[in-house]
Amino acid sequence: MTATTGIPTDAPRSVLRVSGPEARDFLQNLVTNDLGKLSQGLVYAALLTPQGKYRADFFLVPRPEGSILIDVAAPLAADLARALTLYKLRAKVDLEETDIQVTRGTGATPEGAFADPRDTSLGWRGYDGQPDEDADWEALRVAACVPESGVELTPDTFILEAGFERLNGVDFKKGCFIGQEVVARMKHKTELRKGLVPVEVSGDAPVGTPVETGGKPAGTLYTQSGGRGLAFLRFDRSQGEMTAGEATLRRTS
């Protein structure tokens, strides 16, 4: 079975640069993760709406001169830049687009590149002209249950349901960020009733196909690769065999 997603495997990335004496504090107050972790490498994070829903996910990249790069899916870059500009107000921050190219690989991490913080199986990311390496990225992220911008991650997504805590994309000790109250409430005061899970898939179904079990809606099937897939499922309706169009599926965790 070939990979099936709403965004091509080689979907382009855009790289924004945030600089200025208040750049780090500016981003620290907005995004879901702690920028103090930049001393260790890439930081995976998201910008949420005030209602706690997904707006964009990205990697924050430390630069030697003190600026911070934002590695984001190209279709989300313009909206993210607009949002950051609105939040900037009088902060001493500059925001600009760059022509930096993002490269990836699964072998030894080249000098100047960074390990992907979401899962070790996803290799490294480079921003200084490191040569790209071929890999079946869709298969790797399906195996690691990693959501993709614009596919499993949409404006209706709550990031904890998408696995952001497991993927090192949120920090509950850093203090406030946009949407923090909703995320913290989901973490500490409720039990998640649905979420992104890996499934075995037999047959083909387009991304976004509704999943049913016993004639009742159970969720939605998304990316598939090599007989595996990712689905957002209700946990109380996803214990046995399910159907998604002409495909059948079963949870593997």
Q: How confident is the model at residue 9 (pLDDT cuts 50, 70, 90)?
A: very low
Q: Which residues pair with 233 in a beta bridge?
A: 195, 219
Residue 2 has pLDDT above 90, yes or no: no
Looking at residue 10, what is its pLDDT? 54
**Mean pLDDT along residues 11-36:** 96
SS3 content of the chain, % helix, strand, coil (to 5): 20, 35, 45
Taking the C-alpha atoms of residue 226 and residue 246, their distance in angstroms, rounded to an integer, is 16
Cβ distance 198 to 145 under 8 Å?
yes
pLDDT tens-digit series, residues 218-227: 999 999 999 9
Taking the C-alpha atoms of residue 80 and residue 92, their distance in angstroms, rounded to an integer, is 18
Q: Could you tell me the residue ranges of all domains in the chain?
A: 13-188, 194-251
* Right CATH for 13-188 from 3.30.110.40, 3.30.70.3270, 2.30.30.90, 3.30.1360.120: 3.30.1360.120
In the chain, the percentage of residues whose pLDDT exceeds 70 is: 96
What is the distance of C-alpha 205 from the center of its chain? 23
Beta strand 228-234 with 194-202: parallel, antiparallel or unpaired? antiparallel
| pTM summary value | 0.94
Q: How many CB atoms lie within 10 A of CB 11?
A: 16
**Mean pLDDT along residues 125-144:** 96
The mean pLDDT value of the chain amounts to 94
